[in-house]
Amino acid sequence: MIRSVLKKLAEIIIILVVLSFFVFVLLYIAPGDPAEKRLTSQGIVVTKQVLDAERERLGLLKPFLVRYGEWLFSVIKGDFGVSFKDDMPVAPKLYKGLVNTCILAFSSLMLSLSLSFTLGVASAVKKDGIFDHIVRIFSFVANSLPNFLISVLLMYFFCIKLDIFPVIAAGDLQGLVMPVLSLAIPMTGRFTRQIRAEILNRMNEDYVTGMKGRGVKNRYIILNVVRNSLGHIFTIVALQIGTLMGGSVVIETIFRWPGIGKLVMDSISARDYPVIMGFVLIMGAIYVVVNSLSDVLDRTLDPRISE
């Protein structure tokens, strides 16, 4: 058990190091100069001497491997560096943005799961009925619409026409509603279809046929099917968590929700490399850890899955 945990931990570390290295390479060869961007934003006249001095101060004149090595060792010590944009520590910025993004992602996930689980199971039980057709149409439409289009439509009707919610989220509960709905609607359509398919697949197995032959009541059959489907459903949800955390960038930008997605978009515009690298590392860690925990949970719920 301990050996398996250590092996998994080593795999996670290797994945994150490789990921950070490739992202560092992409930022290194990307067009744009962080020093020039900073000086321009401050209204300073950019001359060669001033630009070289700023590059030296930011450490941009060091060789690539030296810069990457210094950054990596700093991260290992818990220091994500200093922002190129305002000379503020990166870690508190990332922490504050991550908390707001987690609130948004968790709220969207809970709303989506409560709706999709109910709709998916009911749709599978009432297969080919009117309710099933309605749910399938909803799933198709919701899953087909991109997040930004849903955001614009919700903003138009509820923020502009009806004036119920604010256009710009203020970081409070009222400002949370529109971003949550924008993320939850397409996710509900996707989850509903996947849960319905999983339940139908399980209902065709031999043990269900045997239970029906023995005269077991339908509700007990459904409970058994749902219980046996939980492992696969949790895997689907786990895969979505990483995507949800990173995919909230567009929604946070549209509604100005103060999450880590909006922070990284502003940092990309400002060529703020330390913040971008911190974002990539945190998102990568969340994605890898969540999927590893999903594998463990899947094996726990279904012992037939081999390690």
DSSP state letters, 9-59: HHHHHHHHHHHHHHHHHHHHHSSS-HHHHHHHHTT----HHHHHHHHHHHT
pLDDT in tens, 3-29: 777 887 888 888 889 999 999 998 888
Residues in the chain: 307
Q: Map 166-213 to HEC letters.
A: CCCCCCCHHHHHHHHHHHHHHHHHHHHHHHHHHHHHHHCCHHHHHHHH
Q: What is the dihedral sign for C-alpha 19, 279, 290, 117?
A: negative
The overall average pLDDT reported for the chain is: 84
Q: Where in the sequence is the domain holding 233, given as residue range(s)?
A: 99-269
Provide the Cα torsion 297, 199, 223, 236; round to 10°: 20
Does the residue 12 lie in any domain? no
Does the residue 283 lie in any domain? no
Structure tokens at 97: 């943005």
**Which amino acid type is present at position 286?**
I
- Residue 22 confidence (pLDDT): 92
Does the residue 40 lie in any domain? no
pLDDT in tens, 154-173: 888 888 888 888 877 766 77
> Which DSSP helix (H) or strand (E) runs through 240?
helix 218-247
Q: What percent of the chain has pLDDT over 70?
A: 93
- Residue 307 confidence (pLDDT): 47
- Residue 69 confidence (pLDDT): 92
Does the residue 10 lie in any domain? no
- Residue 87 confidence (pLDDT): 84
**Which amino acid type is present at position 254?**
I
**Residue segments in the chain with a per-residue pLDDT below the cut of 50:** 307
For residue 224, report the phi and psi dihedrals to the nearest 5 degrees: -65, -40
Count of other CB atoms within 10 angstroms of residue 251: 26
Residue 176 sits in a domain whose CATH number is: 1.10.3720.10
Does the residue 228 lie in any domain? yes
Residues forming beta bridges with residue 89, ordered by sequence position: 82
Does the residue 294 lie in any domain? no
Does the residue 72 lie in any domain? no
**At a CB cut-off of 8 Å and minimum separation 6, what does 52 contact?**
61
Number of domains present in the structure of the chain: 1
> Distance between CA 198 and CA 32 in Å, rounded?
48
Does the residue 28 lie in any domain? no
